[in-house]
Structure 1
């Protein structure tokens, strides 16, 4: 399987369409855009139908092979899209993927979407089987140092020109949330005269962003200000903010806390660990305060809770995402709203 970066995908798709694509990583926007590009290229060559499957614990893997072998009533070619968030298909799933990869049908295109795959997973038999039959689009996080350049490229693609001070301002505002950056660029396309983005225009756009912002919510929770965090969450809900955007910011911070906590427990200095986790200097005091309040076991529980909310948002769990986000924020802020045993029970629902 050829390994491609997202920016290499468009050229590869223009040359030839592979029978299997595996898209993996932890950047929601880049994952979404890579999948959109693959679907668009497939549709342009006659793949007019799409079947979507979520590989959770209850997924029947026979459905994948049945979909591959069944004739479509509405189209000659179809996209079979498999969402496998944790990248762990298990024994049955691994066998099904291997069987599919051994003889992919020409009238099917398999698109597998997962979170970041670790080294052990990339040595598995199912991964190697896909490796021989298709293309792996590996999405890496954009580091703080890379972010200004990424924003500059995004502005250029939108037909805009901006000076470095304006780009740096936006980078400091969105702090790694590529989806937020993309939304601001779309806003600038409507506001920029002569396609030029000055520092003054960028400052006004940033100032006019949502009254209740996602990052302010995360900061309040890290600070332990539960009352303010809950108020901000209600404000975001009223303004129509999508739950997945809030979850993205909270999960990013929880993962950073887990990473830093582990490094510190191994004797690493906090400043070094925070830098390795991509935490901006001005947010390090917030993170340090949260780590003093939250124990490693609590952080792991928060991470499991966030995963459960992700499934609820995607319709894979029967739960209300906004209620679950409220509970996550309270616990992140230090208010233990649920006993761990009850929480584990809730995540099974």
Structure 2
């Protein structure tokens, strides 16, 4: 069958588009968008007034072959189509009677049933299911789409937000749509109908101006060791921030700076460096970064203050700090992160 992206799926479900397919297979690593895809598919297949009797959601762990057949063969009630959602499709054992029955059904699906197979994040594509169903790859959004998603989700929960508030929320909560949705619900309750400001987000997350993860990374990569060390404790106290998350951000920053330094060393003109780095980001489509244009500009700026040898040392230090933090015998997150940012400053003095 065909293969679609999340965006292509939404376009295919517009009223003027052709009729939906009988079987969809949702896979990929963004479970929040899978739920949005489910809502869109259900809305296209069954009118709102008929959904109570024509939408069934089950876990494959609770089904056997006979129960599956009953679900997919039951005719719709006072509607043209019924929807059956099977979650946790990866839990079906290969060769099981349930899977064999599902494959038999996929070869000749019921035209009055829309079957939606939902696979959990972190699982590999099942080529056998993809061959018989319309496979929809639901992957994490790029940074600029995350910002737009937050604005869209805020409207859904009747929350007005200033642009600065959205930017800070994405920065502090990270790119996880699940975490962002939870924070939006909290923010809607706190603001009680008024427009949410940057200060509202900062208060909710325990963030003060100049004390964000962004500020900490800036200080560390600009070799301002004392400033970076002073920021470790305030950043760690913020909601959802852990030592591992800080080290991940710092390690990513070092890797990006090393890429920028390598481009300079191979002769890339300084005036084109940000554009070249942005091209790398667009090709790799990494998850978890902020705005790619801003990220590329920061890497280019930081690269001016480092040599390739220093960056290799910085990566080894970040790796050692990560190992120490994940050790079962070490609990001092603040101490490990502080030691790392101070060591990055020492590299400069040793080089001098």
- TM-score normalised by structure 1 residue count: 0.52
Question: 3-state SS of the aligned residue for 2:216?
Answer: helix
Equivalent of residue 167 in structure 2, options 171, 175, 185: 171
Deviates more, 1:214-223 or 1:265-274: 265-274
CA contact (8 A) 1:20 1:133 kept: no
User: Within 5 A, what are the aligned runs for 1:103-252?
Assistant: 106=102, 111=119, 113-114=121-122, 129=128, 131-133=130-132, 135-139=135-139, 141-144=141-144, 146=145, 148-162=147-161, 166-168=162-164, 170-171=166-167, 174-175=170-171, 177-179=174-176, 182=181, 185-193=184-192, 195-197=193-195, 201-208=196-203, 209-211=205-207, 212-239=211-238, 241-243=240-242, 245-246=245-246, 249-250=249-250, 252=252
Aligned residues: 267
Question: 3-state SS of the aligned residue for 1:152?
Answer: helix
2:57 aligned residue = 45
TM-align CA RMSD:
5.5
Structure 1, unaligned runs of 5 or more: 25-30, 51-67, 70-76, 83-95, 118-125, 313-317, 338-349
Question: 3-state SS of the aligned residue for 2:121?
Answer: strand
Q: Give per-residue Cα distances to partners, 1:205-248, cap 9 Å, x unaligned.
A: 24434245332332232223444434433344445534365456
1:287 aligned residue = 302
Equivalent of residue 270 in structure 1, options 261, 268, 273: 273
Gap change, CA 1:3 and 1:39, over 3 Å in 2: closer
1:23 aligned residue = 28
Q: Give per-residue Cα distances to partners, 1:123-169, cap 9 Å, x unaligned.
A: xxx7755642552424254344x56533321221222234xxx2255
Structure 2, unaligned runs of 5 or more: 14-19, 42-54, 66-85, 104-115, 282-291, 347-352
Gap change, CA 1:202 and 1:9, over 3 Å in 2: same
CA contact (8 A) 1:224 1:334 kept: no
CA contact (8 A) 2:256 2:299 kept: no
Give yes or no for the alignment of 1:2 onto 2:3: yes
Q: Give per-residue Cα distances to partners, 1:319-339, cap 9 Å, x unaligned.
A: 5796688657755665499xx
Q: What is the CA-CA distance between 1:33 and the residue it aligns to?
A: 1.6
Q: Give per-residue Cα distances to partners, 1:27-77, cap 9 Å, x unaligned.
A: xxxx24246668999x95221749xxxxxxxxxxxxxxxxx99xxxxxxx8
